[in-house]
Amino acid sequence: MNDLKQTIATLRSSFIQALEQVGTLQELEHVRIAFLGRQGQLASIMSCMKNLSLEEKKLCGPLLNELKQTSEQLFNVKKEALEQQNRQQELKKKQFFDVTAYRAEPFKGGLHLYSHIIQELEDIFISMGYQVVDGPEIETSFYNFEALNIPQDHPARDMQDTFWLTLPGYLMRTQTSNVQIRTLEKQRPPVAIISAGRVYRNEATDASHDFMFTQLECLVVDKTISLSNLLGTTQTFLQRVFGNEKLKIRARPGYFPFVEPGIEIDASCLFCTDGCSICKRTTWIELLGAGLVHPNVLRACGVDPQEFSGFAFGMGIERLAMLKHGITDIRLFHGNSLSFLRQF
């Protein structure tokens, strides 16, 4: 009997001590299970009651009941205190924040430099009333060469070393001029189109030559189109691309089998007035291949050269972007270096 009384007293003090050490609701739950749970210490003492005599039951029963009630009360008080403490901590977190705290910049995706420059070029031409068209990169020899007045065995084919496909007659286009033919086959003049896209040449690469690069093609066919239309259009376009109204152009004779006359158009150097390393001390920078559409090309597309004439030009988009942004190596364009690409 005295043993049981002693056990009850010990349980009370160890329960109180355990409660004092509890710091979280989770720890409190462990204490509850150990002392007050169905298989806890209190329950196991209560189960011993059945072995006591009636007299002993009368004495110990109230003691145990009192212990159970007090333990539950103490448990509830502790639980309320911990919940209150949690609420206050949450409130504190919301009330105060450090405006100077470091926040990692989220990674922002962006358009590739190619997309930027092509959109810029397209916007300029759309504002001048041009239509933007597309053409295939896998092309037949007919559209890339024959229809452009470059028959088989013509020496001009060597000017653009070609990647031939194993499928006979098919190649990776070497120039966007294929779009001239594909457009004139479908559309009757007046025609004013531009087309930007990839071209491929079987060439060794260096800082200004790649085996895969992009060109912008421009074609205008209508009645009475002349060289002055071509020169006026290219000058306006280049002035807008480089944001420089003072930019001048000059034309030199050039040979492309699909234009007659053929010219090369240079722009006045953007970086100097008296010669620098970029313009190779000439004060001019080569930018475009151009000319009046050859009558044979018009004829191949069913357009009468007696009635219609046209101009066309083509240029390398990378070389233009390199000048505009001071890029020194063409291979950076598709090198996938994020530190390069994130600058644009």
Residues that bind ligand FA5 (CB under 6 A): 160, 175, 177, 201, 203, 209-210, 213, 215, 217, 256, 259, 289-291, 312-316, 318-319, 330
Q: How many residues does the chain have?
A: 344
Write phi, then psi, for 314 (nearest 5 degrees): -140, 145
Cα separation, 117 vs 316, whole angstroms: 12
- Of 42 and 288, the one with the shorter C-beta distance to ligand FA5 is 288
Strand order in the sheet with 284-293: 131-132, 191-200, 212-222, 309-316, 284-293, 259-268, 249-253
Smallest separation (angstroms) from ligand FA5 to the CB of 202: 10
Smallest separation (angstroms) from ligand FA5 to the CB of 205: 8
DSSP classification of residue 242: T
The one-letter amino acid code at 75 reads F
Smallest separation (angstroms) from ligand FA5 to the CB of 221: 13
Which ranges in 242-314 belong to alpha helices (H)? Answer: 295-300
- Beta-bridged to residue 286, according to DSSP, are 266
- Of 40 and 289, the one with the shorter C-beta distance to ligand FA5 is 289
Cα separation, 259 vs 149, whole angstroms: 9
CA 250 to chain centre: 38
- Of 78 and 201, the one with the shorter C-beta distance to ligand FA5 is 201
- Of 40 and 197, the one with the shorter C-beta distance to ligand FA5 is 197
- Of 67 and 221, the one with the shorter C-beta distance to ligand FA5 is 221
Cα separation, 210 vs 9, whole angstroms: 91
- Of 104 and 204, the one with the shorter C-beta distance to ligand FA5 is 204
Tokens of 268: 């006045």
Smallest separation (angstroms) from ligand FA5 to the CB of 109: 27
Smallest separation (angstroms) from ligand FA5 to the CB of 298: 13
Smallest separation (angstroms) from ligand FA5 to the CB of 191: 14
